[in-house]
């Protein structure tokens, strides 16, 4: 009897606790705001892929580039 009741209790606890967890936020990994849709990907893919980010994050005048 113990061999049947214990797994059922453990399974019931696992099911109830897994249902109450908050859903993790999903991140697609691609932020469309970083794209520059005015650039043609076939001519300048770098500008197309990073142009939006470059416009939103300009390099300050006292620095020549980003980096360390």
Q: Would the pTM count as exceeding 0.95? A: no
Contacts of residue 66, Cβ cutoff 8 Å, sequence gap at least 6: 59
- Domain spans, the chain: 28-68
The model's pLDDT over 9-68, given as tens digits with 9 standing for 90+, comes to 988 888 877 765 566 667 778 888 999 999 999 999 999 999 999 999 999 899 888 787
Q: Which residue has the higher pLDDT, 31 or 1?
A: 31
Best CA proximity match to 57, nearest among 20, 31, 38, 39: 31
**Predicted pLDDT at 45:** 96
- Neighbouring C-alpha atoms within 13 Å toward the C-beta of 49: 6
Q: Distance between CA atoms of 28 and 37, rounded to whole angstroms?
A: 19
**Predicted pLDDT at 43:** 95
Contacts of residue 59, Cβ cutoff 8 Å, sequence gap at least 6: 65, 66
**Predicted pLDDT at 20:** 59
């Amino acid at each position: 009897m113990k061999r049947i009741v214990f797994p059922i209790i453990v399974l019931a606890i696992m099911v109830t606790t897994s249902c109450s967890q908050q859903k993790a936020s999903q991140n697609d990994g691609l932020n469309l705001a970083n794209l520059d849709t005015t650039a043609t990907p076939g001519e300048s893919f770098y500008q197309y892929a990073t142009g939006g980010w470059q416009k939103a994050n300009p390099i300050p005048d006292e620095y020549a580039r980003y980096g360390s």
